[in-house]
Amino acid sequence: MKLGKLMSKGEEEVVWRKFVTSFWKIIDEVNRLTPYAQDILLSLLAEGQVKYYDSVIDVNKYSLFATINPQDVGTFET
């Protein structure tokens, strides 16, 4: 969120992270993502878009590289 705009005008504006807007997406140990992060990633893979509050960005072209550690399958740290 752009806090300046939120404080001065009371309007929320999402500032997307570089991961969302970049062509190359790299995730190390994807099996350790939180359920919330997994939902975002699955939305990107299935629908080609990322949602945050009321904002949606279409991510049409990208390359995703992910690694997994089978010894820790299904675990994540909170």
Enumerate the domain spans of the chain. Answer: 17-72
Helix (H) or strand (E) holding 69: none
- pLDDT of the residue at 68: 87
Q: Which residues contact 74 (CB under 8 A, 6 or more apart)?
A: 31
- pLDDT of the residue at 66: 92
**Per-residue model confidence as pLDDT tens digits over 5-14:** 655 777 676 7
- pLDDT of the residue at 2: 56
**Per-residue model confidence as pLDDT tens digits over 34-48:** 998 888 889 889 999
- Yes or no: say if 68 and 28 are a contact pair by the CB < 8 Å rule: no
Q: d(Cα 8, Cα 3) in Å, to the nearest integer?
A: 8
DSSP per residue over 4-63, as a string? HHHHHH--------HHHHSSEEEESSGGGS-HHHHHHHHHHHHHSEEEETTEEEE--S-E
